[in-house]
């Protein structure tokens, strides 16, 4: 799928993501992960701001997404939750920050979409201060054979419909990057992972 089609796909989903934020979908997981965020935070693929209800009061967020509609919803959420944030409309796959720019890098439900997720994780590794944290909540392939087979079969359709791959081996992707895993929690036969990490070399 070319870039503008992909952006358009997410533009059309902005209201749905706003609804999910209002319902606080995945609250238990987001709350658990996001409370570890500190200081200067980079949130990539921020969507409609689903994590904003769960940040502590002292964070300053740089939020990135390539969809203007998603960013519009995220700005409304920042106002609603009193979040100090700046917003950048950009493609994360072409984005650059100086090394050691952030205390925390947050990505939730975004590794399913990138062309080269390992390269993106290596960028997180570079952008995050050495004593900082990288916080991920990602979905991928199940450890259950039947579910995994279904995910593989449905992947081309799912990608065409919503722009996300369903069949990625998230833990393998992370282990192939420079990031060092500190703690993981996995749910729903390993389809969802919460991962606390620190930068490696």
Ligand X SMILES: C[S@@+](CC[C@H](N)C(=O)[O-])C[C@H]1O[C@@H](n2cnc3c(N)ncnc32)[C@H](O)[C@@H]1O
- 102 interacts with ligand X by CB under 6 A: no
Find the Cα–Cα–Cα–Cα dihedral 45, 124, 86, 21, rounded to 10°: 30
Nearest CA to 162 out of 4, 12, 3 is that of: 12
Residue (64 or 105) nearer to ligand X, CB: 64
Least separation in angstroms between CB 22 and ligand X: 12
| 63, 92, 173, 194: residue in contact with ligand X (rule CB under 6 A) | 92
- 134 interacts with ligand X by CB under 6 A: no
- 50 interacts with ligand X by CB under 6 A: yes
- 33 interacts with ligand X by CB under 6 A: no
- 41 interacts with ligand X by CB under 6 A: no
Binding range to ligand X, per CB under 6 A, among 58-66, 128-136, 174-182, 184-192: 58-66
Per-residue x/- mask for ligand X, residues 150 to 169, rule CB under 6 A?
A: --------------x-----
- 104 interacts with ligand X by CB under 6 A: no
């Amino acid at each position: 799928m070319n870039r503008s089609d992909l952006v358009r796909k997410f533009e059309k989903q902005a209201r749905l993501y706003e609804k999910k934020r209002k319902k606080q979908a995945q609250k238990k997981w987001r709350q658990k992960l996001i409370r570890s965020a500190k200081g200067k935070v980079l949130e990539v693929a921020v969507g409609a701001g689903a994590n904003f209800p769960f940040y502590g009061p002292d964070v300053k967020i740089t939020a990135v997404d390539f969809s203007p509609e998603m960013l519009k919803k995220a700005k409304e959420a920042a106002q609603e939750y009193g979040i100090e944030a700046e917003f950048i409309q950009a493609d994360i796959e072409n984005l650059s920050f100086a090394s050691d720019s952030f205390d925390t890098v947050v990505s939730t439900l975004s590794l399913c979409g990138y062309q080269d997720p390992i390269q993106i994780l290596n960028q997180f590794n570079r952008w995050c201060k050495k004593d900082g944290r990288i916080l991920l909540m990602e979905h991928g392939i199940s450890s259950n054979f039947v579910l995994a087979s279904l995910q593989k079969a449905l992947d081309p359709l799912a990608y065409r419909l919503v722009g996300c791959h369903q069949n990625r081996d998230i833990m393998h992707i992370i282990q192939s990057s420079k990031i060092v895993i500190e703690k993981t929690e996995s749910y729903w036969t390993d389809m969802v992972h919460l991962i606390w990490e620190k930068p490696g070399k």
